[in-house]
Amino acid sequence: MSAHSATAARARTGGPKEDGPKILEHALGWTLVVVLAMLVTQLGLV
């Protein structure tokens, strides 16, 4: 088995090189932050 076929057989686990809709991921992340802040404020934990 060559080095190339050995690395090709491994499953990808994602990471920094994985491409995707970064703007959507960024927007969903900030939406989660805002919702969490609203929840904390409504519960009086601040």
Q: For 32-42, write each residue's pLDDT tens digit.
A: 999 999 999 99
- pTM (2 d.p.): 0.53
- Two structure tokens written together for 27: 């927007």
User: Who has greater pLDDT, 40 or 17?
Assistant: 40
| DSSP string of 2-45, one letter each residue | -HHHHHHHSPP---TT----HHHHHHHHHHHHHHHHHHHHHTT-
At residue 4 the predicted structure's pLDDT band, cuts being 50, 70 and 90, is low
Give mean pLDDT, residues 14-24: 73
pLDDT surpassing 80 at residue 19? no
